[in-house]
């Protein structure tokens, strides 16, 4: 019965706890489609077609699969490395439509129809990309784990400078930037080398850019 003074139905501590638990259970329940998928053991997938290293590829993927895992686990292109898996180290850098991205932060299904280039697509041991050859010449790697991402990012960095895309250290925002060491170091700051081969990497990039290290 309602309380005579307040008009509010009394509730016991046990009743309050029970109603709170019921509310949590309802809000934590998965969507019906996901629950149905879990019961049947089926994972919802989506078809994706994109070009990887000049070859058209088609995959049926769980919509939660990252571009990094699609490349490594499904296409077996293991040159691209998984480092932090949080977009903080740059080891997973690849080129998408000519621009560099952290593939660990991008879902594969977002790249329908895109052109993806990994380290394998830049060059081979017998026919290396100029940046790959410069890394070898200047010893721009030590353990080598970050090297594929470093090289992909370095190639994109020089292209950004050529196109006149400014960086945080660019003084003239109208374009016409020179591939100075400061410009290159700033643009490469998202690629971490735990071995500390940064000076060698800068020398390799300077050689490819035609500038003095």
What span, in angstroms and rounded, lies between the C-alpha atoms of 92 and 115?
16
163-176 residue pLDDT tens: 988 898 888 787 67
Give the CA radius of gyration of the chain. 26
Maximum pairwise Cα distance, the chain: 91
Q: 210 is written with which tokens?
A: 């035609």
Residue 19 included in any domain: no
Q: In this structure, are 111 and 161 located in the same domain?
A: no
Half-sphere exposure of residue 51, counting CA atoms within 13 Å on the CB side?
11
Residue 5 included in any domain: no
149-161 residue pLDDT tens: 999 999 999 999 9
Question: Environment class of residue 124 by beta-carbon count within 10 Å: exposed (0-12), middle (13-18) or buried (19+)?
Answer: exposed
15-39 residue pLDDT tens: 655 666 555 454 454 554 555 555 6
What span, in angstroms and rounded, lies between the C-alpha atoms of 115 and 97?
5
Residue 190 is predicted with a pLDDT of: 95
**Residue 88 carries which DSSP code?**
S
Residue 39 is predicted with a pLDDT of: 65
Q: Residue 144 belongs to what domain range?
A: 123-213
Q: In this structure, are 110 and 66 located in the same domain?
A: yes
Q: 104 is written with which tokens?
A: 């660990």
Domain edge (last residue) among 72, 89, 122: 122
What span, in angstroms and rounded, lies between the C-alpha atoms of 90 and 97?
18
Which residues on adjacent β-strands are paired with residue 48? Answer: 59
Q: How many domains does the chain have?
A: 2
Residue 27 included in any domain: no
């Amino acid at each position: 019965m309602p309380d005579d003074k307040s008009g509010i139905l009394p509730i016991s501590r046990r009743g309050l706890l029970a109603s709170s638990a019921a509310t949590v259970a309802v809000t934590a329940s998965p969507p019906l489609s996901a629950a149905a998928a879990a019961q049947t053991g089926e994972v919802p997938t989506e078809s994706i077609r994109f070009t990887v290293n000049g070859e058209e590829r088609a995959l049926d993927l769980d919509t939660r699969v990252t571009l990094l895992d699609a490349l490594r686990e499904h296409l077996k292109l293991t040159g691209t490395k998984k480092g932090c898996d949080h977009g903080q180290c740059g080891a997973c850098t690849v080129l998408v439509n000519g621009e560099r991205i952290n593939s660990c932060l991008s879902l594969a299904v977002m790249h329908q129809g895109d052109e993806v280039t990994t380290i394998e697509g830049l060059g081979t041991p017998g026919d290396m990309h100029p940046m790959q050859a410069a890394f070898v010449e200047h010893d721009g790697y030590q353990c080598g784990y970050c090297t594929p991402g470093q090289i992909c990012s370095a190639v994109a960095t020089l292209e950004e400078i050529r196109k006149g895309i400014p960086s945080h250290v660019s003084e003239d925002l109208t374009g016409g930037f020179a591939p100075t060491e400061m410009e290159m170091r700033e643009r490469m700051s998202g690629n971490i080398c735990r071995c500390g081969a940064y000076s060698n990497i800068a020398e390799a990039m300077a050689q490819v850019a035609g500038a003095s290290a």
